[in-house]
Structure 1
Amino acid sequence: MDGAKGRYLKLYEEIATKAQQLGQPEPTLVAVSKTFGPEAIAELYEAGCRDFGENRLHEFSPKAASLPNDIRWHFVGQLQSRKAKDVIGIAHMVHSLDRTSLATAMSHQAQKQGVVQQCLLQVNIGQEPQKGGLLPEDLASFARQLLSLEGIVPMGLMCLPPADEDPRPHFRRLRQLCSQLHEDGLLAARELSMGMSSDYAIAMEEGSTMLRVGSHIFGDRS
């Protein structure tokens, strides 16, 4: 079977087999559909995929409005505080919470809409100056601030390791941080959004619960 549908089904089986070998639950496979149209998403939906990732609001909003409402949308890009209203209540999970102003805006919108928004704290695990995300040493204090904000629930952590480094130690570090924060009562769960097309197998070995895979499913982006 060719095309995105065939690649998705093949990858899904590979992930299921590896999870069984590792003796752990299958991670959620988030098909990162940015730059691809509703037709491509609909094809994967027919194959059974329900989790899709978007990182641009101008694509996310019309796709969410036009596609089946049982899709679980994951917003995986940087989000401006003033744009929180366009994501809250629509996204199943926001993967990129990394600053107080955004947390406050998300909390305000969630309360206004009467919803509870699940989110992940984005961690700048490689401490790269050009990337967003919280530094590891700032995680605990930031997570404590969230305890006083209603309407948002931090479920775990997300990271994007440095492109030119072995991702394994970074994934391992994220897992350790997540476990400690959960034990301290600062996270509601131990979700780990880590691993993409090039390193999802390593991420699984280090305990990933969410894989964000784009090109390995949809092909190269134009």
Structure 2
Amino acid sequence: MTLEQRIAQVNESIAEACKRAGRSPEEVNVVAVTKYVSAEMTGKVLDSGVEHIGENRWQTARPKWEALGDRGTWHFIGQLQSNKVKDIIGKFAYIHSLDRLSLARELERQAAAADIKIKAFVQVNISGEESKSGMLPEETFEFMRRMRDFPHIDAIGLMTMAPLDGEAEAARPVFRGLRELKDRLNASGEPAKPLEHLSMGMSGDFEVAIEEGATWVRLGSILVGKEED
């Protein structure tokens, strides 16, 4: 399949999932995960009209950002070490992996120095897997209260990773759990402002994620394809 065909197929799948859930496709944003493809292919993705680019390591993102950083909107979707914040601040508009207070402090420090505001998703380990990053659901209430101390970080929502093995349907409780947590947090009044977004769902399970309320899906192979394309 060509890139254009994959994009059309993804858009159709999003529309169908939204129809099943009684949602509008306009509520769902797509991040094209380009970590396994070249700068040339990333450029083609941007040429196709896809606006949002997701990368999970600065080392592999750097040549792409240096060539294409003035185009599209860039999302850092991988685990972020505090000593790497200086590399990505001002380049990535969104961070999908805010998972600890020490990282929030460093993001605040760097963003304040650059006089910018960065949008962030708080990463939550809904599944409870030891291999997954993210804070436990019960830790998010205090964390959101503490986020009030960081005016240069705009906590816009939550992010989670579903188990990679198993059928897509098996991920539904994880996605539903994140949506329910968002609702509980908003009801608690701990966030400085209501959380609006859920970053959840990848190539194998994004339709289920949309049915459960995802507003951002992170799509690699199903959208970007393989390098030879």
Q: Secondary structure at the match of 1:197?
A: coil
Residue 203 of structure 2 is aligned to residue 204 of structure 1: no
Give the letter aligned to residue 25 of structure 1: S
Give the letter aligned to residue 131 of structure 1: K
**Partner Cα distance (2:32, 2:219) in 1:** 5
Render the CA deviation track for 1:84-139: whole Å, top value 9, x for unaligned. 11122211210000011110000000000000000000011111112210011111
Using the TM superposition, give the Cα deviation of residue 17 of structure 1 relative to its aligned residue in structure 2, in angstroms. Answer: 4.0
**Partner Cα distance (2:83, 2:24) in 1:** 37
Contact 2:17 2:208 survives alignment (8 Å): no
Using the TM superposition, give the Cα deviation of residue 13 of structure 1 relative to its aligned residue in structure 2, in angstroms. Answer: 2.9
Q: Secondary structure at the match of 2:10?
A: helix
Q: Secondary structure at the match of 2:149?
A: coil
- Structure 1: 4+ residue segments shifted above 4 A: none
Using the TM superposition, give the Cα deviation of residue 12 of structure 1 relative to its aligned residue in structure 2, in angstroms. Answer: 1.8
Contact 1:93 1:117 survives alignment (8 Å): yes
Contact 2:20 2:211 survives alignment (8 Å): no
Residue 111 of structure 2 is aligned to residue 110 of structure 1: yes
Runs of 5+ unmatched residues, structure 2: none
Paired position in structure 2 for 1:93: 94
Paired position in structure 1 for 2:12: 13
Contact 1:5 1:43 survives alignment (8 Å): no
Q: Secondary structure at the match of 1:147?
A: helix
Render the CA deviation track for 1:139-183: whole Å, top value 9, x for unaligned. 111111111112111110000022345111111110011122233
**Partner Cα distance (2:135, 2:93) in 1:** 22
Residue 75 of structure 2 is aligned to residue 74 of structure 1: yes
Paired position in structure 2 for 1:33: 34
Contact 2:127 2:163 survives alignment (8 Å): yes
Runs of 5+ unmatched residues, structure 1: none
Using the TM superposition, give the Cα deviation of residue 68 of structure 1 relative to its aligned residue in structure 2, in angstroms. Answer: 5.3
- TM-score w.r.t. length of structure 1: 0.92
Counting matched residue pairs gives 221
Contact 1:51 1:73 survives alignment (8 Å): yes
Contact 2:120 2:154 survives alignment (8 Å): yes
- Match for 1:177 among 161, 165, 181? 181
Paired position in structure 2 for 1:162: 163
- Higher relative contact order, structure no. (Cα contacts within 8 Å, ≥ 6 residues apart): 2
**Partner Cα distance (1:130, 1:119) in 2:** 22
**Partner Cα distance (1:5, 1:120) in 2:** 29
Query: RMSD over aligned Cα, in angstroms?
Result: 1.8
Paired position in structure 1 for 2:61: 60
Moved more, 79-88 or 111-120: 79-88
Moved more, 63-72 or 134-143: 63-72
**Partner Cα distance (1:163, 1:35) in 2:** 17
- TM-score w.r.t. length of structure 2: 0.90
Residue 141 of structure 2 is aligned to residue 129 of structure 1: no
Contact 1:9 1:47 survives alignment (8 Å): no
